[in-house]
Amino acid sequence: MTLMLSTLQPDFAQKFDRVVNDRRESDSEVAGQVADILQTVKLRGDAALAEYTQRFDGYTLADDADWLITRERCEQAYDELAPELRDALELAAARIRSYHQAQLPENRDYIDAAGVRLGAIWRPVDAAGLYVPGGRAAYPSSLLMNAIPARVAGVERLVVVTPTPKGQSNPLVLAAAHIAGVDEIWRVGGAQAVGALAYGTKRIRPVDVITGPGNAWVAEAKRQLYGVVGIDMVAGPSEILVIADGKNDPDWIAADLLSQAEHDPTSQSILITDDAGFARQVEDCIDLQITQLATGKTARASWDAHGVIIVVNDLMAEAPALANRLAAEHVELAVDNPEPLMHAIRHAGSIFLGRMTPEAVGDYVAGPNHVLPTGRRARFSSGLSVLDFMKRTSFLGLDAASFNTIGLAAATLAHAEGLPAHAKSVELRIK
C-alpha cells in the first residue's frame, strides 16, 4: 500500500523520518558472501571465474573464444541494428560526449606573491573497468554513460565485464561498445568480475578505476575493493522525487514515477504536491498504467512497498527542505517556474526542470550522466564525470628567495609538531 503523508499530520515528522532513513540496500549476509567471492578470485583467478560463471550464468568458459567478445562481433552488432536504433545510439553518444568534454579540467601553473611556483597537472588513469549488467538490466545507455567519459578523459584501455547468461549477449550493448570504442569485453559478471578487474588474473589485466551499475553483490564488491581500485560510487536502488503542482497532467506524473519503479522492486518513487486531489488522480493513474506495463509486476512491487505521496500546503515553502532531507538521485520540478525551487534544493543527483523534462530523457540522450548517487549520498557526492577517470598531481618549485620567504615558518611548525628531521631539512637551506 502506497504511503500517503501530509505535512498537516501531527506525526508527519516521525513518518517522514522513517522514509528518509529507510535503507533498501545490501545486508551483512551479502557482504559476507561478497568477501568470500573476492578472496576466492584473488587466490584462484581464472579458475574461480570459470566456476562462478558456470554456476551463476550457466555458461562454460573454456578457450579464449569463450571468454572474450571480439571487436568484430561488436561491429557486426552495430551494422545489424535497425537504422532508427543506430541513429538513436549515435545521437545519445554525441550528446554525452559533448557534455563531458566541457568537464575537462585545466592544468594550473603560476607564481604566487612569495615567488613560489605552484600548480597541478591532470592526467587520466591508465585503465578503466566498466561493469555492464546482463540480467534484469542490460542497458546500452549505461555503457555509453560510463565508457564515453572515460574516453573523453583520455583513458587508453577500456575494459568491460558483463555476464552472458547461457552465452547470450545483448546486441544493443555490443553496438554501444563499438560506438564507444571499448577495447576488451569479458564474459564474466557479478562480484567475481569486479574482483578480477581489481586484482587481475592470468587473462584479465587489472584496472585502476571500476565504474558501472550492478546488483547488490556488484555494489558491495565495489565498496569492499575501494582502495585497491578507485570506484565511481556505491550505487543502491534507483529513486525519483517528483515535485509537481496540480496543473500537471496526472498521467504524465504517474508515468514519471513509474519510470523508476519499473527498474527493481527496491526502487523508490516519491511525489510531493500541494494539491491533494491531484495526488489522488496520480495514484489512480499509476494503478491503471501498471496494468498496461510489461514491467508491471516489478513496478507494482516497488510502488506498493516504497512509493510515497506527500501533500504540502506550499510547494516553495516546504518542498525544498523535504527534498534536501531525501537527497534523491533524480528530482523533477514539474512547475511553471522551476528556477527558485532548483536553487533552494542543495542535495540532488540531477535536477530536471519544468513539465517537459521527464527524467527518462536524461537516462538516454540529454547529455549529463545518468550514473548518479543514490541512498541519500547526493549530500556529499556527485554523478559520474570525466573527473572519475582522472587524477590531479600538484607541483611546487622554490628558488632561494622564495625559500627564505616561507621556509622559517615551515621549520617552526615542524618543531611544534615534534618532527625535528622535517625542521632540519628546512633549516639547512635557510640563509
Could you tell me if 302 and 264 are in contact, meaning their C-beta atoms sit under 8 angstroms apart? yes
Catalytic residue among 178, 263, 306, 330: 330
Per-residue cell: 173: 550493448
Instruction: Mark whether 417 is an active-site residue.
Output: no
Per-residue cell: 107: 592544468
Instruction: Mark whether 263 is an active-site residue.
Output: no
Per-residue cell: 234: 556505491
Give dist(CA 78, CA 97) in Å, integer.
Answer: 19
Catalytic residue among 184, 262, 283, 329: 329
Give dist(CA 163, CA 331) in Å, integer.
Answer: 31
Could you tell me if 149 and 386 are in contact, meaning their C-beta atoms sit under 8 angstroms apart? yes
Give dist(CA 126, CA 258) in Å, integer.
Answer: 39
Look at residue 101 and give its three-state secondary structure: helix
Helix and strand numbers, DSSP H then E, in the chain: 18, 14
CA distances to 56, 91, 135 from 52, rounded to whole Å, are 6, 37, 15
DSSP conformational letter for 379: G
**Residue positions annotated with a catalytic role:** 329-330
